[in-house]
Structure 1
Amino acid sequence: MPRPAIRAWNFRHPNGATAAEKSEVRSAVTRYLLISLTVVVCVSVPLSFWIRAQAQSHTLADATVITHHLADYTVGPLITDEVIAGDPEALKLLDSRVAPWLADGSIVRVKVWNADGRVLYSDVPSLIGRTFDMPPWSVPLLAGGADRAALQQQNGLDNDYEADSGELVEIYVRALDAAGRPVMFEAYFDDQTVHDEQASLLLSMTPAILLSLMVLQLAQLPLAIRLARRIQVDSASRRQLLQDSIRASDLERRRIARYLHDEVIQDLAGLSYALEAEDKLDSGAQRSLIAKARLILQRNVGTLRAMTGELYPPDLDRLGLIEALRRLADPLTEQGVEVRLNLPEHLDLDRDRSSILYRIAREALSNVLKHAGAHSLELALMQDGDRIRLSIRDDGRGFDPEAEPPDWHVGLRIIRDTVLATGGTLEISSRDGDGTSIVAAIDRS
């Protein structure tokens, strides 16, 4: 079954009391501080990763320079034909030159490769002379391409002696042996250098950056407080205007109701009595016309009296909203509509908001009675936290909210305008032949 079409209006109601204004300002400032803290955290996290990446890049660049120095001035010139042939004396000489570089532990391993993947030299003697598959990037590197530097785990076939060392800084550079032939020099550095550099940069840069962000946020705090107070004053003014308009509307309704009752209805009622007397005295051809005019007049008097009842609502201060809503449902019950009421025993609500909810319920029930053709109706009033929710559902003929509203939908427009003026929320859902649901919610204060 397709879901009913829904039209909703949503508005927020301003808080107006002095205590509420202060609370709202505090709440706004608290939200601002929380958002500021969130911004600082959101900026700090990627910033820390950026600093770590910069530190790693800087350390790898330094390690590459060291590797070039070792390869070009210490190891490369000693890669002679004797070393390549595996001469022990030549290898011993090379070991003695490399030993000082390995002594402090910053360099973990060195290897020298030829273009065929043969290890010409390593500080691990068992690797010398072994051949491994060369990676694709070795060809451009040996041809004079870019160096390679990375911080990673060593798990290749040639890394049996480094596999248990965790992450290592791995540097590959091009060098020339004693005969001017290109070789690939590989050096492994302890990763502690990278981590120390990252920690150093974080400790040196992060406090200054975070302090700058905090100062910026605190500098904006007075502006945020001033803006929150200004908005609160405007909200209080709008609330006061709303209360004044509600009271003025009630006074105007009562004035119109009194005028209709004391002037128009009395005059029309007197005219009706005069026509009735004339009808009894006149026996001529005009008697039928007089009788018809009298019936029309009486019907209009009845309509005007009903209008005065709608214009002049019951005394909500005396009856209370709950009892007033019960009385609103009486005309529907008299017309044979099954009415189910779900009302609380007691509701602590001021006169203005009671009047608003009463108006919404009156317009909705009047619309149901006149146009919906409903057999049953449910009216519920619930307190949901700091909001009061009024729900009215019927099983009448319904309508299409997306279509152009007919003239008799003026009641729904009145409900919409009433909720709009109070800053509440309104949801009207309906479908042709499947009834209508109206749910209005306003703040308690």
Structure 2
Amino acid sequence: MTHDNGPRSLRRAVIALVLTALSAFVLVGVAAVVASRQIAERTALTEAERSAQTLSKVVFAPAIPAVLEGDQAAHVRLDEAVHARKEHGGVARIKVWSREGVVLYSDAPTAVGRRFPLDQDIALAIDHGTSQTAISDLSDEENFSEPREVLGDHLVEVYVPLVLESGGTLCLEVYTTTARVDRARTELTGSVVTYALLSLMLLVLAQLPISIGLIRRASRADAERRRLLANALTASERERQSIARDLHDGVVQDLAGVSYAMGALRTALPPDTTPRARAAFDGVATTVRSAVSSLRTLMVDIYPPDLTATGLPFAIEDLAKRLRRNGIDVSVKVDIGDQLRSELAAAIYRAVRECSSNIARHSGAGHAWIEIGADDRQLVVRVADDGHGLHPGDDPGPGHLGIQLVHDGIRELGGELTMGPRAEGGTEVVIRLPRTA
């Protein structure tokens, strides 16, 4: 029986490796984009805060006292300074706030003198000297003078303390466009994602030959294991044939001849033969006939005469009869159609034979079920009993050589074997085999 599972397994492993690498590229790329955008945003906001603090100390702190006293010349100079920063520094709006929530100065004259609910960021800047920076959506009432159709939907909003020479503190609010944030995001995202993906690609390329080599080695080892198992199964089948043939042509024929001879001798016994001697003779003849029957049963057990789709139900029924002779009530149901490959029939027979043997020797069951069904894709074998069942911690695998050999044979054919406790008590073995094994 030939197999192409080795190359197919290798292809699957390489495909899995490639898909894993692609998944890693996607995950790393997404993570790099998110991280770089966050870093760029924090960096740009920090820079905006630093610029606002410089504007507060250098421009507004010296000029705002005179502006508040009504000095028009000082007001004009401050307007010019603000206008210059709006032209070249990305500033969109500037306001000076008092602790009472009154706008003392703004480059939008309509806002000057208006009172609004005191923002927490303004209070923090005036009372604690802390600066606050965020991206505003311009939804607050105070932003009536920042038209979205002109300035956009979002602005960088910075609140910094404005410390006067007189010792008082106001709050300087500076709105700047998000161009700096967007630019930083684009630049940092491009560089970080490029370097991250390039590094990952180099790592994958460096590991790819090693990974493929390991996969090939594992595939060769698996192919060798399958070859050895196939050889062992083939040798086992040949040995079973040889043993069955030797039994049939040798011991069974000889004992059958002895049985026939004893039958003939029974009629030729002298009339004066004592009843005790006749009984002893009959006992020997019965023993010989029983031995012949046992050997023929053993021959069928070693190598069933017909393991085809039509012969398998009869072979399974023979196994059920042996269980019935042990006092176990057996229900048998076999429905597999009329097309079944010989290796599948042999695998099913071996599995049922091993399970039946375990039921007879170990289960203490009163009833057993043997069910074999099929559809267009797979065969399903179920062998169950109502005996003692598996105890917690029992391992039905390597510790039970017969089941382990059956399990290996089923797996070699592309199927699976599960063994566990039956829901109503006892043990249940379920085997699934693809028809195209």
TM-score, length basis structure 1: 0.78
Equivalenced residue count is 413
**Of 312, 332, 335, the match for 2:303:** 312
**Is 2:401 aligned against 1:401?**
no
The Cα shift of 1:182 comes to 1.9
Aligned to 2:39: 54
Aligned to 2:22: 37
The secondary structure found in structure 2 opposite 1:129 is: coil
Q: Trace 1:164-179 onto structure 2 (pairs within 5 A).
A: 164=148, 165-179=152-166
Cα distance in 2, alignment partners of residues 201 and 325 from structure 1: 71
Cα distance in 2, alignment partners of residues 332 and 229 from structure 1: 43
| CA 1:85–1:292: 2 relative to 1, 3 Å | farther
The Cα shift of 1:259 comes to 4.0
Question: Given that residues 316 and 352 in structure 2 are in contact (C-alpha distance below 8 angstroms), is that contact kept between their aligned partners in structure 1?
Answer: no
Give the letter aligned to residue 71 of structure 1. Answer: S
Give the letter aligned to residue 431 of structure 2. Answer: V
**Of 118, 121, 133, the match for 2:105:** 121
Cα distance in 1, alignment partners of residues 190 and 317 from structure 2: 76
Aligned to 2:351: 360
| CA 1:353–1:51: 2 relative to 1, 3 Å | same
The Cα RMSD (Å) is 3.7
**Of 148, 157, 172, the match for 2:132:** 148
Cα distance in 2, alignment partners of residues 200 and 301 from structure 1: 92
Percent of counterpart pairs with the same letter? 29
Cα distance in 1, alignment partners of residues 226 and 281 from structure 2: 54
| CA 1:26–1:438: 2 relative to 1, 3 Å | closer
The Cα shift of 1:152 comes to 3.2
Cα distance in 2, alignment partners of residues 257 and 125 from structure 1: 112
Q: Trace 1:401-440 onto structure 2 (pairs within 5 A).
A: 401-402=390-391, 414-423=402-411, 424-428=415-419, 430-432=422-424, 436=428, 438-440=430-432
The Cα shift of 1:140 comes to 4.8
- Worse-matched range after superposition: 429-438 or 338-347: 429-438
**Of 64, 81, 105, the match for 1:97:** 81
Aligned to 1:346: 339
1:139-187 Cα deviation digits (max 9, x unpaired)? 5533554421112312223222337331211111122124232222111
Unmatched runs of 5 consecutive residues or more in structure 1: 1-14, 406-411
**Of 141, 145, 153, the match for 1:157:** 141
Cα distance in 2, alignment partners of residues 422 and 21 from structure 1: 17
Cα distance in 2, alignment partners of residues 404 and 120 from structure 1: 81
Cα distance in 2, alignment partners of residues 44 and 422 from structure 1: 44
Q: Trace 1:40-439 onto structure 2 (pairs within 5 A).
A: 40-80=25-65, 82-84=66-68, 90-104=74-88, 106-136=90-120, 138-142=122-126, 145-162=129-146, 164=148, 165-266=152-253, 268-269=255-256, 277=265, 282-285=273-276, 287-288=278-279, 291-292=282-283, 294-314=285-305, 321-331=308-318, 339-347=332-340, 349=341, 352-364=343-355, 378-384=371-377, 388-392=378-382, 397=386, 400-402=389-391, 414-423=402-411, 424-428=415-419, 430-432=422-424, 436=428, 438-439=430-431
Question: Given that residues 416 and 433 in structure 2 are in contact (C-alpha distance below 8 angstroms), is that contact kept between their aligned partners in structure 1?
Answer: yes
The secondary structure found in structure 1 opposite 2:390 is: coil
Cα distance in 2, alignment partners of residues 16 and 87 from structure 1: 101
Cα distance in 2, alignment partners of residues 404 and 26 from structure 1: 38
Give the letter aligned to residue 438 of structure 1. Answer: V
| CA 1:329–1:23: 2 relative to 1, 3 Å | closer
Question: Given that residues 416 and 426 in structure 1 are in contact (C-alpha distance below 8 angstroms), is that contact kept between their aligned partners in structure 2?
Answer: no
Give the letter aligned to residue 401 of structure 1. Answer: L
Cα distance in 2, alignment partners of residues 162 and 340 from structure 1: 84
- Worse-matched range after superposition: 231-240 or 85-94: 85-94
| CA 1:287–1:138: 2 relative to 1, 3 Å | farther
Aligned to 2:397: none
Question: Given that residues 400 and 431 in structure 1 are in contact (C-alpha distance below 8 angstroms), is that contact kept between their aligned partners in structure 2?
Answer: no
- Worse-matched range after superposition: 293-302 or 205-214: 293-302
Cα distance in 2, alignment partners of residues 315 and 247 from structure 1: 17
The secondary structure found in structure 1 opposite 2:371 is: strand
Question: Given that residues 398 and 436 in structure 1 are in contact (C-alpha distance below 8 angstroms), is that contact kept between their aligned partners in structure 2?
Answer: no
Give the letter aligned to residue 243 of structure 2. Answer: I
1:91-120 Cα deviation digits (max 9, x unpaired)? 444323211112347111111123333322
The Cα shift of 1:265 comes to 3.7
Give the letter aligned to residue 23 of structure 2. Answer: T
Question: Given that residues 77 and 176 in structure 1 are in contact (C-alpha distance below 8 angstroms), is that contact kept between their aligned partners in structure 2?
Answer: no
Question: Given that residues 133 and 156 in structure 2 are in contact (C-alpha distance below 8 angstroms), is that contact kept between their aligned partners in structure 1?
Answer: yes
The secondary structure found in structure 1 opposite 2:26 is: helix
**Structure showing greater relative contact order (alpha-carbon pairs closer than 8 Å, 6 or more residues apart):** 1
Cα distance in 2, alignment partners of residues 159 and 290 from structure 1: 121
Give the letter aligned to residue 310 of structure 1. Answer: D
Give the letter aligned to residue 389 of structure 2. Answer: D
The secondary structure found in structure 2 opposite 1:322 is: coil
| CA 1:112–1:404: 2 relative to 1, 3 Å | closer
TM-score, length basis structure 2: 0.80
Cα distance in 1, alignment partners of residues 262 and 393 from structure 2: 43
Give the letter aligned to residue 168 of structure 2. Answer: R
| CA 1:85–1:288: 2 relative to 1, 3 Å | farther
Unmatched runs of 5 consecutive residues or more in structure 2: 395-399
Cα distance in 2, alignment partners of residues 21 and 212 from structure 1: 33
Cα distance in 2, alignment partners of residues 16 and 151 from structure 1: 68
